């Protein structure tokens, strides 16, 4: 949701836009260790922490390593063969086969299918055909994103908002405030100017779509209670509705600051 707004406002190449993209990219990469950690915690639920618990990461790490190695060995020759066929339908089918196969392989290794699909996307992006893959899949992005949000929305208990509006709105406001403050402070520590820091903090204050994946996985593994998890999900949805408003607020503040700044 954030990147289309940056493109629409022509801010993707600004200092704030580059910082926002960097944070979003790191969030994507952070999903893998988060999902692995959830799988390990689910498998070892009820045990007290000990150094031997770290061995529980071995199957997940081994499965991911095998998936990456096998993908690098098999994926490139397969995509070259598909590309020689010069068939867009075959190219699309091969791309979907890789994603679904990686998801199933990850599930067999005891980790999340979402993580397997994510790894498949990284492997496809490393091939010489990444531009063609992106062009082939692009028409389906909006549809698949819509299906993702529909599936998430269908599982939400919106009655929680009616029953406990102060709790839900309080979680949303506190989360967005903490996110904005942390992002602004870190931006300043890394020597980003005040205006870009403010813009990045406001635009990234809301929850991201990976919150749904993480929370749903935690609830499915009984690491998080349904009531608490659904309350946080509703708050996350509401915070995402605020992203265009936060972007507009950041734009208004930036324009006002530039207009009132003394001439050099």
Q: What is the pTM of this model?
A: 0.69
Does residue 9 lie within any of the structural domains?
Answer: yes
Q: Which of 80-84, 112-116, 196-200, 230-234 has the lowest mean pLDDT?
A: 112-116
> What rounded mean pLDDT belongs to the chain?
81
pLDDT of residue 107: 75
Structure-model confidence comparison of residues 220 and 185, the more confident one: 185
pLDDT of residue 58: 65
Does residue 61 lie within any of the structural domains?
Answer: no
Alpha carbons 156 and 234: distance in angstroms, whole number? 7
pLDDT of residue 55: 59
Q: Quick check: 187 and 196 in contact, CB under 8 A?
A: yes
Does residue 39 lie within any of the structural domains?
Answer: no
Q: Tens digits of per-residue pLDDT, 59-74? A: 667 767 777 777 777 7
Alpha carbons 173 and 246: distance in angstroms, whole number? 12
Q: What mean pLDDT comes out for the span 250-261?
A: 86
Alpha carbons 45 and 237: distance in angstroms, whole number? 29
Q: What mean pLDDT comes out for the span 203-211?
A: 87
**Quick check: 204 pLDDT over 90?**
yes
**Quick check: 258 pLDDT over 60?**
yes
Q: What mean pLDDT comes out for the span 226-238?
A: 87
Q: What mean pLDDT comes out for the span 211-216?
A: 83
Does residue 41 lie within any of the structural domains?
Answer: no
Does residue 96 lie within any of the structural domains?
Answer: no
pLDDT of residue 155: 61
Does residue 222 lie within any of the structural domains?
Answer: yes
Does residue 135 lie within any of the structural domains?
Answer: no
Looking at residue 208, the DSSP 8-state letter turns out to be P
Q: How confident is the model at residue 110 (pLDDT cuts 50, 70, 90)?
A: low
Does residue 263 lie within any of the structural domains?
Answer: no
Domain count for the chain, please give it: 1
| DSSP alpha helix (H) spans, the chain | 2-8, 15-43, 57-85, 88-108, 113-125, 130-154, 159-163, 165-189, 194-203, 210-220, 226-241, 243-260
* Burial class (CB within 10 angstroms; exposed 0-12, middle 13-18, buried 19+) of 88: exposed
pLDDT of residue 226: 84
Q: Tens digits of per-residue pLDDT, 31-57? A: 777 877 787 777 666 555 555 555 556
* Burial class (CB within 10 angstroms; exposed 0-12, middle 13-18, buried 19+) of 263: exposed
- Domain around 228: 1-17+155-257
């Amino acid at each position: 949701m954030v990147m289309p707004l940056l493109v629409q406002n022509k801010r993707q190449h600004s200092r704030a836009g580059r910082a926002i993209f960097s944070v979003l990219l790191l969030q994507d990469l952070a999903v893998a260790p988060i999902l692995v950690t959830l799988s390990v915690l689910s498998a070892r639920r009820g045990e007290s922490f000990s150094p031997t618990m770290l061995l529980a990461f071995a199957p997940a790490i081994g499965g991911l390593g095998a998936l990456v190695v096998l993908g690098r060995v098999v994926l490139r020759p397969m995509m070259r063969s598909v590309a020689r066929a010069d068939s867009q339908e075959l190219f699309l089918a091969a791309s979907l086969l890789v994603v679904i196969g990686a998801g199933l392989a990850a599930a067999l290794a005891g980790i999340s299918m979402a993580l397997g699909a994510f790894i498949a996307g990284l492997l496809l992006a490393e091939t010489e055909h990444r531009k063609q893959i992106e062009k082939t899949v692009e028409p389906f992005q909006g549809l698949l994103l819509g299906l993702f949000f529909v599936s998430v929305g269908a599982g939400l208990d919106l009655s929680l908002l009616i029953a406990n509006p102060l709790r839900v709105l309080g979680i949303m406001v506190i989360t967005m405030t903490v996110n904005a403050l942390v992002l602004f402070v870190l931006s300043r520590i890394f020597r980003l100017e005040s205006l870009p820091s403010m813009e990045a903090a406001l635009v990234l204050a809301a929850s991201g779509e990976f919150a749904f994946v993480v929370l749903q996985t935690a609830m499915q593994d009984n690491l998080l209670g349904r009531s608490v998890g659904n309350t946080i999900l509703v708050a996350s949805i509401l915070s995402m509705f605020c992203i265009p408003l936060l972007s507009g607020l950041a734009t208004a503040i930036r324009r006002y600051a530039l207009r009132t700044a003394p001439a050099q």
